[in-house]
Structure 1
Amino acid sequence: MDVLNLTEDALEAKCVEWRRWFHEHPEVSTEEKKTSEKIFTILKDLGLDPVRGTDHYGVAATLKGGKPGPMVALRADIDALSVKEATGLPYASQNPGVMHACGHDIHITTLLETILRLLRRKEEIQGSVRILFQPSEELSPTGGARYMMKDGFLQDVKAIFGLHVWPSFVCGKIGVKAGAMMAGSDRIKVVIKGKTAHAGHPQEGIDAIMAAADFLQQISHIVSRRVSPLATATINIGTIRGGSRYNVVPDEVTLEGTIRTLDEENRKRIPEFIQDILDGLKKSAGVDCEFNYYYGYPVLDNWPVPAQLVRDTARKVLGDEGLVSQVVPDLTAEDFGFYLQEIPGAFLWLGCGTEGEPIHGLHDARMCPNENALVVGSKLMSQVVIDALAALEQGADFSKRE
């Protein structure tokens, strides 16, 4: 593809075409074969030398600038969700029961459009750009970020940047902040074991459902009494399974749920609090308990200097009105947090809503992002790359945490 001779209209039209192809052909985590092949082919057509992941469908490439210097990375996730699409779009999913309901089709194409813009400005780039198309972001608690890291795709990278579409922000606005921006997301499974008996002789059994009710009451006190009211955390039990018949004392109940936190210290302490409750139940109710805690995605914790660089660049590209002034952290989760545990960087929210139209949130079967977000995101991220490399070359310390 002759990027240099594409008009702006032609460039944007090509990216819309790509985005709609990705939207029509969604694939869930670990199954992103066609998506990966399409990305690989586009990158080859752009003159890059892409590399496939080891035992996964991730794709990486390196764009070298016109001048020597450090390396930064850009990441897009590529998987879809098991959601039956309800948008009514002419380019709706052709894969029944699977949809890009989290906007990863926009993420893929925004990164591709960013590459097009960077290729046009190659001589301005003081260093190089590692491009990451990551699979399995939705595969909690594993996450595809760790696949990319294991393959060494972050080697020599000095800073990393990424984005997520945000339906509650109108197109043309972005949100970013230093510090915790998205939640650490963990899962729990608790099995409470009692003793079965006839309901007419409850004293002969140990009621697992009653013990589960006590457990539910007590874990609600963790957030209100064991965690600082200045911190943010939530514990949600999403499923309860137990009992076999209306007139039988149940002998086993299984509860599963999620824990979301914005602080890694509280994240470490909450499992201890839950274990204390279960130890007490063993004594008070006579039950046995099995407790499994599955650590998932860490708190997405933006580094201050990269986050400020994104804000400064956004003002330059979008104007002051393009920045959301007060960005409130969200208790959804993102495995980009794994990258930020290893390398300085920042993650931003890209507005994709349309003024005056209903907001359909992430994972909603009706979600339909404004495609103008591609232009906004690619113009911003291409400038972020150029500004970040220049700052690093001039000695900026992206590794400051304070």
Structure 2
Amino acid sequence: MTTFMPDFTIREAVRKVLPYMMEMREYFHARPELSGNEFDTCRTIFRELSLMGVTDIKIIAGTGVTGIIRGNLPGPTVLLPAKIDALPVNEADACPYASLFPGIMHASGHDGDTATLLGLAKLLLRHKDCLRGTIRLVFEPESEKYGSVTKLIDNGILAQPRCDYAVNLKLDSTLGKGRIGFGSNVCLASRDDFTITFVGKGGHCTQVSATDSVLQKGVIFLNTVNAYMEQVNKERPVALVSFGQFQCGNLSTTIPETAEIKGTVRTYDDDLRQRILARLRDLCDEDCRWQHCFVSPVGRNNEALCAAGEEILRAYGGDRITPVPLVPDFRADDFSRFAEFLPTLSCFAGIAENIPLPSHYSGFLWDSSLLKYACEALALLVYYLPSYVKQEKTI
């Protein structure tokens, strides 16, 4: 479809920046920082971009960083994001670059996302002579909390220069190495987080009835929601309500006055999302306080970008990069908010070597050399998509 060819070999260019990416990934892994506290991460990214020669580097959205790479050839402006925060997880593995901070760990691959984007930036700057258009680099903070895409947009991340489309490539521990997952339409679930506070009569366990106990109210609520979701998903999995916290009391003999449940709602259907949220609110009686935080809408890939991306990787990825259909698993990403303003493409680069590796747990460890697949796939998309986008007027 395109006669454009870079004047260098992308795979060889990735090989040259791989040691740098591995070094940066392991640096960030050893020094994880929680959402909103990514201070060293922010400083390190700012320093690395400055040393490379990236222009217009700015701190944004608190501890985020953005910068610009301008190619020597005319073309679109493309936004490329990476998330930078870690999780409150205690690392179990004693690898050479294990977390230095107890109770904090990069357990979802954001250290690799950040390192990949830094490595790609170094590659693009070395080969600006055949880079078409402009690249807007965005290192997003606070993504594990509620995300900061809205803050980024409010701070003008899509303007000056105006972005034409965005490509979001994330590491995926459920896919094998070299596999790049694509979803042709819906690719990300919506995400709504909520907190429900139950209020009841506190006191000694011998003096508080079951009907007044906030623990009993919480248990009844959980059982009712689980039964409701079984009916919702009776035919096939279409939605998820997950509870991550049930906190109340600290003594075996004392019933607390309040109990708090935190959870999240995920679905790929906007109407169903509203019905589930309404049902949760209805289950909260006058003794409950409902707090809702809308994090991200359903994420849909632009069809033209998705088709072009798959074709590019099949045509130029050789035997190392293999596009595969994405299996929906209720993953969510506030990157979906960008789709309200411009065409977007989300895809996922595998980092599993033998069996799928579950994330968000203490043993989440993978080989840093696997970053070469993510960087190569992203570089191919950056260099070749302008030809396809130019011909595909539908985006």
TM-score above 0.5, yes or no? yes
The residue aligned with 1:21 is 27
Q: 8 Å contact 1:126–1:393 — kept in the other structure?
A: no
Q: 8 Å contact 1:263–1:299 — kept in the other structure?
A: yes
The residue aligned with 2:325 is 326
The residue aligned with 1:301 is 300
Whichever residue aligns with residue 149 of structure 1, its letter is I
Q: Which runs of 5+ in 1 are unaligned?
A: none
Secondary structure, counterpart of 1:96 in structure 2? coil
* CA distances 1:332-366 after superposition (whole Å, capped 9, x unpaired): 322222223332111111111113xx643212222
1:381 lines up with 2:378 in the alignment: yes
The residue aligned with 1:153 is 157
The residue aligned with 2:63 is 57
Aligned residues: 384
Alpha-carbon spacing, 1:204–1:9, altered in 2? closer, same or farther (3 Å): closer
In the aligned structure 2, how far is the partner of 1:377 from the partner of 1:14? 14
1:94 lines up with 2:93 in the alignment: no
By how many angstroms is 1:152 displaced? 0.9
The residue aligned with 2:311 is 312
Which of 357, 368, 373 in structure 2 is aligned with 1:360?
357
By how many angstroms is 1:381 displaced? 0.9
Q: 8 Å contact 1:50–1:59 — kept in the other structure?
A: no
Alpha-carbon spacing, 1:154–1:369, altered in 2? closer, same or farther (3 Å): farther
The residue aligned with 2:339 is 340
* CA distances 1:30-56 after superposition (whole Å, capped 9, x unpaired): 222222222222222222214222451
How do 1:160-239 residues align onto structure 2 when only pairs under 5 Å count? 160-195=166-201, 206-225=212-231, 229=235, 232-239=238-245
Whichever residue aligns with residue 383 of structure 1, its letter is L
* CA distances 1:260-292 after superposition (whole Å, capped 9, x unpaired): 2222222222221223333xxx5xxxx633222
Q: 8 Å contact 2:182–2:324 — kept in the other structure?
A: no
Whichever residue aligns with residue 294 of structure 1, its letter is C
Q: 8 Å contact 1:53–1:151 — kept in the other structure?
A: no
Identify the range of structure 1 (256-265 vs 195-204) with the bigger mean alpha-carbon deviation.
195-204
Secondary structure, counterpart of 2:243 in structure 1? strand
Which of 383, 387, 390 in structure 1 is aligned with 2:387?
390
Alpha-carbon spacing, 1:149–1:218, altered in 2? closer, same or farther (3 Å): same
In the aligned structure 1, how far is the partner of 2:261 from the partner of 2:346? 33
In the aligned structure 1, how far is the partner of 2:336 from the partner of 2:167? 11
Q: Which runs of 5+ in 2 are unaligned?
A: 1-7
By how many angstroms is 1:385 displaced? 1.3
Whichever residue aligns with residue 370 of structure 1, its letter is D
Alpha-carbon spacing, 1:255–1:81, altered in 2? closer, same or farther (3 Å): closer
Question: TM-score, structure 2 length as denominator?
Answer: 0.85
Question: TM-score, structure 1 length as denominator?
Answer: 0.83
By how many angstroms is 1:296 displaced? 2.1
The two structures, once aligned, show a CA RMSD in angstroms of 3.1
In the aligned structure 1, how far is the partner of 2:367 from the partner of 2:135? 27
Whichever residue aligns with residue 290 of structure 2, its letter is F
Q: 8 Å contact 2:351–2:366 — kept in the other structure?
A: yes
